[in-house]
Structure 1
């Protein structure tokens, strides 16, 4: 928020990888206190978009399964009982990305930003890169998290650069 203000950004959407909602709701609470004109948008992998669906319905929705995505670090059964009310109050609609989009975001993060990000930690960057039409503000701030990726998965991501 401070860096954005230094750059003259007064309103933005803050895209955050979301599993149970701890990181996302924590950021939302911090922004509410510091920069209420910034709005958090939870980002999730396709098929494991329990928070996105929960925000749309207004009640906690569960994922049908807990496996089947490369974004395993953020796959949870449902939004947290403590975190969901915070997200319901403060977050904008969720954004959903495919596994391939997460891999492409990993490759771009490495190539352009020189950072290594695991698949689940790359979903917010993937949302910004490949679903920008769903954003409502001119400015987007992206949170990436986690660098726990094995050689095979990272190789799959880098193969998409070409």
Structure 2
């Protein structure tokens, strides 16, 4: 299996540059900077991978459009990228997707299909077959992984003293891209994956040395709705090769991290984006300057109010 390379990530950076924000690093405290990917136009890092993947679709295939399945942020990213690049998009989301994310996806002009939480991939496959469209999965795709890895290029350039990068993990596309790029540029930098304890399948897999499956309904228990997927064979190969450590955090720790990020940096993070900061605040991690990738900020107003109140 071919893994994504630094050259792939650099090519992705050139392809997506006109369509994404080069997010800054913000000070959380003396030991931690945050990379607020919630400042992207769609409110999450997923825009990077989606734009890169769609930009590489051959011109003769673009009229038939794209199909994606997602718990929310990838849905918005593909819808945004399709609108930007002039392609129709059909997006399949599970029924537990926050309404905020469904409405945002429709606002970008995509068709949205809401299905049961175990049916999103099969429905997407049907749409691809019916329409002859191109499938853009949320993480199981080298172009998506390479696009997410552009975050690492920016971190290393902006913060040469970084010693540790903390990354939220769901399907593993983000940490795969970040780790592949970082280890090529700075093998000494530690890459740590962070998951909710209620969706800690990748952590269990890392400890076991092989992929461990958790039932989708079990993973759905966490408030971090963007972290309910599980790694694919492709992302697991990147994780096994490049990631140094995994930790999990509790629901209370995640909610407190959302609050701390808002108070200290004036940034709104969704629970999925706050998990790396929760790990920094509550786990004994290797010392040295750290960066937490705050992956998104698309949080329902009622949930945010309950956390900040």
TM-score computed with the length of structure 1 as normaliser:
0.89
* Displacement of 1:75: 0.8
Identify the match of residue 16 of structure 1 among 148, 162, 167: 167
State the 1:138 CA deviation: 2.1
Identify which of structures 1 and 2 has the higher relative contact order when contacts are C-alpha pairs closer than 8 Å and 6+ apart. 1
Please report the RMSD computed on the Cα atoms of aligned residues, expressed in angstroms.
1.2
**Offset, 1:47:** 2.0
Give runs of aligned pairs for residues 46-57 of structure 1, distance below 5 A. 46-57=197-208
- Matching residue within 285, 300, 307 for 1:150: 300
Determine which structure has the larger helix proportion and give its number.
2
Asked if 1:103 is matched to 2:243, the reply is: no
Structure 1: distance between partners of 2:273 and 2:166: 11
Alignment of 1:36-47 (within 5 A): 36-47=187-198
Residue 68 of structure 1 corresponds to 221
For structure 2, list consecutive stretches of 5 or more residues without a partner in the other structure. 1-155
The C-alpha deviation readout for 1:62-99, integer Å capped at 9, x for no partner, is 123231110111111x3111011111111122110011
* Bigger Rg, structure 1 or 2: 2
Aligned residues: 152
Query: Are 2:289 and 1:139 equivalent residues in the alignment?
Result: yes
Query: Match for residue 158 of structure 2?
Result: 3
SS at match of 2:253: helix
Matched, 1:113 2:265: yes
The runs of at least 4 aligned residues of structure 1 exceeding 6 Å deviation read none
| Alignment partners' CA distance in 2, 1:49 and 1:140 | 22
How far the C-alpha of 1:117 sits from its partner, in A, is 0.6
